[in-house]
Structure 1
């Protein structure tokens, strides 16, 4: 695949994530009082992550008003934000983050692996 096409697709998926249009999933990350709701698209999550495919097809979720709700309390908001962007764009530059964040990413990736 050409580099130009790859960047074009990454930008498109990033736009889809940022605008939340047609999102059907809300992922609650963190624990009270520090919870953030991430809006996402179940199709993309299921395609990109075997763990999330299982989680979204299982009894781990609730469905309210046609919105899938999944709670993942033990991953930090900042780390999940990085992971979600990676799931959409397949772009990850670990040099942008400090060692503490990179270790937290490794731990979260291990937890979210099938």
Structure 2
């Protein structure tokens, strides 16, 4: 029974990571012209990463209540692995 609950929770978490409708953070990764945009959720970033907790605390929201982080010092491949 516990295993099924954990499995369901993990599936819900994966769906949340892939949900691009209800995001509140945009992360631009890479250098121009090779930039990839990730749409994600601040609650996940804050609880999984001290780096993002600090970044999000220091960034203002735009008119749509979205925060944008630019990571031009990180490769798209590295970030894609880290974020998932």
Band of TM-score, shorter chain: 0.7 to 0.9
1:72 aligns with 2:71: yes
Give the whole-Å Cα distance in 1 for the aligned partners of 2:44 and 2:73. Answer: 22
Give the whole-Å Cα distance in 2 for the aligned partners of 1:40 and 1:53. Answer: 13
Pick closer, same or farther for the CA change 1:62–1:71 going to 2, 3 Å. farther
Give the whole-Å Cα distance in 1 for the aligned partners of 2:8 and 2:55. Answer: 30
What 5-or-longer segments of structure 2 have no aligned partner?
A: none
The structure carrying a bigger helix percent of its residues is 1
Residue correspondence of structure 1 range 1-114 to structure 2 within 5 A:
2-58=2-58, 61-65=59-63, 66-85=65-84
TM-score (structure 1 length as normaliser): 0.65
Give the whole-Å Cα distance in 2 for the aligned partners of 1:6 and 1:76. Answer: 32
Q: SS where residue 31 of structure 1 aligns?
A: coil
Q: SS where residue 4 of structure 2 aligns?
A: helix
Q: Deviations over 1:13-44 (max 9, x none)?
A: 11111122320000010010000110000111
TM-score (structure 2 length as normaliser): 0.85
Measure how far apart 1:62 and its partner are.
4.8
Root-mean-square deviation (CA, aligned residues, Å) is 1.4
